[in-house]
Chain A
Amino acid sequence: MTQVFSPSADTWLRLLAGLGAVAVAGVLLVAGGIVRSDYVTGVGVVPRQPVPFSHEHHVGGLGIDCRYCHTSVEVAANAGFPPTHTCMSCHSQIWTGAPMLAPVRESLATDTALRWERVARVPDFVYFDHHVHIAKGVGCVTCHGRVDKMPLLARAEPFQMQWCLDCHRDPAPNLRPSEEVFDMAWSPQGDREALAERLMSENHVQTAHLTDCYTCHR
């Protein structure tokens, strides 16, 4: 009876099995890398806006408070896009002829809204609420990044569920005293852990249901 397998069959089998394992691991690694990449999450992408509005100039340069334009951030789910009226509070007097601001003037004249492209957005099945995050002491910078250093606004964080959960599982390190929530440059002084612990109780942060599905999904 002749042999079914050649003398080298075992080597080939081991080689192919090994290569197969490497290939599977490689595909998983690459796939994992892609879904976390800026290409998929949109971090750092600057969408084309109707007016090249600079947060760097208005927040960093002029020192205008976030709430001057995003007025409903402390009381509603939506932070609030400023109506054209807000832009014109200053630009009815300053840079009145600037070609860059022509769409703003046209928006006021014709009573049509400027159509800004959203930079920070979550999927439609996520029900994010700004006001509770502000009330509990999560700073604007924590999710939106240093907008005072962005000439054109780009997404600063991935806005993926894993990223949300990182904080929902352990919110303490991301809390600030309430008067520092809108401060772009704030950084904790002194004992960070003691501050985190104090803010958890002062701001009444309850962690029991923070990772329940219905906290963010309906």
Chain B
Amino acid sequence: MKFTGTDNYVASDDLRIAVNAAIALQRPLLIKGEPGTGKTVLAHEVSKALGAPLIEWHIKSTTKAQQGLYEYDAVTRLRDSQLGDERVKDIRNYIKRGKLWEAFTGTGSRPVLLIDEIDKADIEFPNDLLQELDRMEFFVYELQETIKAQHRPIVMITSNNEKELPDAFLRRCFFHYIRFPDRETMQEIINVHYPDIQRNLVREAMTVFYDIRDVPGLKKKPSTSELLDWLKLLMVEDIPPDALRSKDSAKLIPPLHGALLKNEQDVHLFERLAFMARREKT
């Protein structure tokens, strides 16, 4: 089992090695990076490349670790007992399997388990999963049995750095920080996504894009996924490459900038800078 990137995902050398190390040594891989650099997509691509089923667990602020294991639906059981349902005799009918359970007992090959945005959860959340991720087993109290992983799943965890993760949790993971791609890699990524886009449009668009990223003080810098969206818009609207190059007159704000700048203040800031740049020229 080796991951080498896919037709529509450009994996850099360091990312490839980190993923392969995590697969081979069966450790969870923690992935951090700017939003929009393809953290979540990575898990999808790994599962596609390895032909392994993907199990996604999206974390919210209210998610509890227990929900990933199983939940006991006492209310339904209580109601069924009122109605004299036969199902009520077996507690098994009211145990709802969580994502981890699914990943542990899935049939076939090693599944890929994506724990998405782990930093959104409560500060204690990662600690509650230590044992489960380490030993790949947990105990179901209601059934009095231990669920053990048949195949250790490939665990990928993404984080946006909103909360710091506990040391004990980090010790058990491998870590990779997806750096913002440089121009060359970006070109590759664009080629993979839009193979028949005009070359000069890409060139102009990338210049504008990296210029915007260099504007100091932006609240949210545009990222890879935003660039891809923007290019798509440019293609759909059939904007000629020259429109991006025109550095004069009122066209200093790039067309369809809404795809790149997601924040009112950022648009204002950019307009102001563009206005100042124009004044300097005249």
Does A pair with B? no
